[in-house]
Structure 1
Amino acid sequence: MHERFEPDEKWLREVTDCLYWSLMYDWDIPKHIRDHYGLTEDYRLYHQLNAMKNDEYRQKRLLGEIPDVLEIDARLTHRAEELFERLCPHPPVEYLDKLNTELERLGQIAAIPESVHDILHVHPGFLAKYGIDKNASATERSCQAEKAYRELDARFVRMTGRRPYADELFATIRSKREDSRIENRTRQAQRAILRNLPTKGRKFGI
């Protein structure tokens, strides 16, 4: 949309600066930039939902009258990140550090699906952003986190030129899980053998 404006250096600098501050510090994006990139409607809806009282919001959500504010926020964030990374192919270190923290968290959830319930480090907005359902089964959560990790890892490869980490990480996770299964089967077999050993000792009836 309006791609003819993007080569203008002044315009590009303004847009990338605004997107950066919005993504890093939740600053508002100016209306003319929102309009230019089609962010206005979601932006308006997000602020409208966010301004509701908690009781009103919960009631309207239960009735299906309004969308989930976290889903709207996730959609806006994805769009802003996509634009920022296209207009600024080599983002600042601070931005990469922020995403790297999220990448590590995704790897942790993929390896230990129960960590989605760590309310100190895993917030609902993070789960919404990366499409992870904390009420799904452990296997599903792990798969959702792996998918999100691979997508974010590929973005890092584009932005930084580093090698991809995903294949190595998930090969290690699967290897550890298989080792754990083998160990558990071995322990169960040993317990079964011990339970079935003949009893020695005092004879009954003497």
Structure 2
Amino acid sequence: MYSDLESDQRKREEVISSLYWSLMQNWDIPKSICDHYGFTEDYRLFHQLEELEPAEYKRKRETGEVPDILEVDARLTRTVEKVFESLCGKPPAPYLDKMNEELEKLGQIAALPDSVHDILHITPAFLVKYGIDKNASATERSCQAEKAYRALDARFVKMTGRRPYADELFASLRQRKEKTPEAKRPKQVHKPILRNSPSKGRKMGL
């Protein structure tokens, strides 16, 4: 039904509009479009999980009966974004604004890994969508955010034709770290030098 979008402008606009409003507001994709692009299973599963009562969802999550709704939503979102951006070419400004906000948050986490705990601005759904583990070390969180930033930045280059920002941003962040005054850097804990080495075959107690 949607295999001739290149020649049928009306169908193309129908699909683009449906995907756009689903991404911007709430999932409402016609079954025919879901089936054609392979969204059907995750789309059905997301709505099924969404309809569960909170207590029932929590119980089923604890027993492993159902998957994490955030992971399902993130997977669906990434898939729909990919199709939408490939069809639309130059997405509307509100969509670009939304994605730019996400790009800025990724840059913030890369620079300040502890900002993942800012529940007012960084939601669990956002972290899941971009593969950032808030329980990982600060260095790992920063690397995860940088990887996600670079991928989204590359998408912006395709969508808008602007120059890439990633290399410049992360080069400046690394320069800033290198220029941090010695006094402000975390003090290194030095182990005491043992004047008399322990006897062979025994380990020093901690």
Report the TM-score when normalising by structure 2: 0.86
Q: 1:168 to 1:64 in 2, by over 3 A?
A: same
Equivalent residue, structure 2, for 1:153: 153
Equivalent residue, structure 1, for 2:142: 142
Provide the rounded CA distance (Å) in 2 between the counterparts of 1:166 and 1:99. Answer: 15
Name the amino acid aligned to 1:5. Answer: D
More displaced stretch, 79-88 vs 26-35: 26-35
More displaced stretch, 173-182 vs 117-126: 173-182
Equivalent residue, structure 2, for 1:4: 3
Q: 1:181 to 1:56 in 2, by over 3 A?
A: farther
Provide the rounded CA distance (Å) in 1 between the counterparts of 2:81 and 2:4. Answer: 19
Larger of the two Rg values belongs to structure:
1
Equivalent residue, structure 1, for 2:97: 97
Equivalent residue, structure 1, for 2:107: 107
- TM-superposed deviation, 1:37: 0.9
Kindly, what percent of the aligned residue pairs are identical?
A: 64
Equivalent residue, structure 1, for 2:67: 67
Provide the rounded CA distance (Å) in 1 between the counterparts of 2:162 and 2:90. Answer: 12
8 Å Cα contact 2:2/2:36 also seen in 1: no
The secondary structure found in structure 1 opposite 2:180 is: helix
Q: Deviations over 1:6-36 (max 9, x none)?
A: 2221110000000010111114111111111
Residues paired across the two proteins, number? 187
The secondary structure found in structure 1 opposite 2:75 is: helix
Provide the rounded CA distance (Å) in 2 between the counterparts of 1:188 and 1:66. Answer: 46
Q: Counting helix residues as a fraction of each chain, which structure ranks higher?
A: 1
The secondary structure found in structure 1 opposite 2:66 is: coil
Equivalent residue, structure 1, for 2:194: none
Equivalent residue, structure 2, for 1:184: 184
CA RMSD in angstroms comes to: 1.8
Provide the rounded CA distance (Å) in 2 between the counterparts of 1:99 and 1:188. Answer: 38
Q: 1:181 to 1:66 in 2, by over 3 A?
A: farther
Gaps of 5+ in 1: 190-206
Name the amino acid aligned to 2:43. Answer: Y
The secondary structure found in structure 1 opposite 2:179 is: helix
Provide the rounded CA distance (Å) in 2 between the counterparts of 1:12 and 1:22. Answer: 16
Provide the rounded CA distance (Å) in 1 between the counterparts of 2:121 and 2:181. Answer: 28
More displaced stretch, 5-14 vs 17-26: 5-14
8 Å Cα contact 2:23/2:81 also seen in 1: yes
The secondary structure found in structure 2 opposite 1:28 is: coil
Name the amino acid aligned to 1:68. Answer: D
